[in-house]
Amino acid sequence: MGVDPRDAHSWLSGLHDDNTVYVNFNRWKESISETNPMLFEGSVCRSKLETLAHTLGHELVHAVVLNFFPRIDSSSPAYLPDDKHGPIFMFLNKRLFGHTGHASRRMFNID
């Protein structure tokens, strides 16, 4: 638990050279419920547990791509170096977890 100095806005963040994964405390303080859900990569999350499951799935896809397909994914014209969500990442993220994007947002802007 802590705050990633490079990415304080993600629920979990990693991709560090030392393999550190941060659980960003400031994000996990937010309320997530039936009446205040999150839309996480196309999936509606109504609890922190659902959000954690989708977030872990997302990060596991990064681990697979970075370990097995790094050159193929990063050499694609669709790959953005600052984004790190290339076509192989997006394909696996959708096939494995049903994610249709790579961002989360509040559904109703309730805080």
Q: What is the pLDDT of residue 68?
A: 84
Which residues, 6+ apart, have CB-to-CB distance to 96 below 8 Å? 57, 61
- Is residue 38 in a domain? yes
- Is residue 2 in a domain? no
**Boundaries of domain holding 78:** 13-108
Q: What is the pLDDT of residue 37?
A: 92
* Residue 46 pLDDT level (bands cut at 50, 70, 90): very high
- Is residue 67 in a domain? yes
Closest by Cα among 91, 101, 81, 77 to 15? 81
- pTM given for the model: 0.74
- Is residue 6 in a domain? no
- Is residue 84 in a domain? yes
Residue 23 region by backbone torsions, left for phi larger than 0, else alpha for psi between -120 and 50, else beta: beta
Please measure the distance between the N-terminal and C-terminal CA atoms of the chain and give it in whole angstroms.
22
Q: What is the pLDDT of residues 50-100, one digit of tens each?
A: 988 888 888 888 888 888 877 776 677 666 656 667 788 888 989 998 888
